[in-house]
Amino acid sequence: MKLFTIGFTKKSAEEFFTRLQNAGVRRVVDVRLNNTSQIAGFAKARDLKYFLHAIMGIDYVHIPDFAPTQDIVDDFKKRKGSWTEYERRFGDLMVNRHIVDTASEVLCDGDCLLCSEHTPEHCHRRLVAEHVQEHLPDVEVVHL
């Protein structure tokens, strides 16, 4: 299974949608805790679902269980916590939520995990993808 990831910040709509199309993404899996934020621009949930379908025939689903809790996010961003602590806490949350079970039931070849971070290095979408890759057979992760 090929599992893509992408963040929408620092990308124009043209760049964002072109990357998805060129990669052959079949469905965007929104892993944001809050997918209706004003800062999301073209990536606000209802708009994004419409654009994906109308422009490229790509499906959209929101799976908030693949997102960190607000406490984890706030401790890292607002309280300037360490990335190591964020990874540890989110890793524990993924185990407690049994996201591998959810992933094995809902993720398909050509899915793309979406969040806001520009690059995957300090983003939970990378942690989700790596967790899934570690526990499910034959998963290839590609960051767009």
What is the chain's Cα-based Rg?
A: 14
Could you tell me which of 136, 133, 107 has the C-alpha nearest to residue 120?
133
CA dihedral for 8, 12, 17, 20, sign (positive or negative): negative
Angle, CA of 36, 38 and 39, to the nearest 5°: 110
pLDDT digits (tens, 9 = 90+) for 26-81: 999 999 998 887 666 788 888 999 999 999 999 999 999 999 999 999 999 889 88
Global confidence as pTM: 0.93
Q: Sheet holding 27-30: strands in order across?
A: 59-62, 27-30, 111-115, 2-7, 140-143
Convert the pLDDT of each residue in 80-131 to its tens digit: 889 999 999 999 999 999 999 999 999 999 999 999 999 999 999 999 999 9
